[in-house]
Amino acid sequence: MTECYDYLCDVYVVRLWKSHNKFNEKEVGSIEMILQDIKGNRIHASIPNPVLKKSLGNTRDFCMYVMKNFIIVDNKTKSRVTSVKWIFTFSHRTIVSSIGNQAILLKHFD
């Protein structure tokens, strides 16, 4: 499968939590999130450990963001927390920007 980084969407962070490294409980393995679009569709998102330092301070619960340059892949490795079989994965190229006007959202994840 070819990876495409050209996605752009506006989302609301419904929930955000830390997932510990399975080999070292004292280390954060990833940041997991549930994202929601304007129609109420939800998708699981993950910020893996190598990307954490770049993205850690950028996202918070109950805030809206424009996210671009991310990867959508089939969720075969993590526990499914939404009905969507895909997972929104951050990469080193992912850009997260806060939305000032929270009334503007695009329709995604159909």
Identify the CA nearest to 98 among candidates 51, 69, 66, 53: 66
Bridge partner list, 33: 16, 45
Q: What does the pLDDT read at residue 7?
A: 67
In tens, the pLDDT along 43-62 reads: 999 999 888 877 656 788 88
Q: Is the pLDDT of residue 1 over 90?
A: no
Q: Is the pTM of this model over 0.85?
A: no
What are the residue ranges spanned by the domains of the chain? Answer: 8-98
Domain topology for 8-98: OB fold (Dihydrolipoamide Acetyltransferase, E2P) (2.40.50)
Q: What is the mean pLDDT of residues 81-108?
A: 75
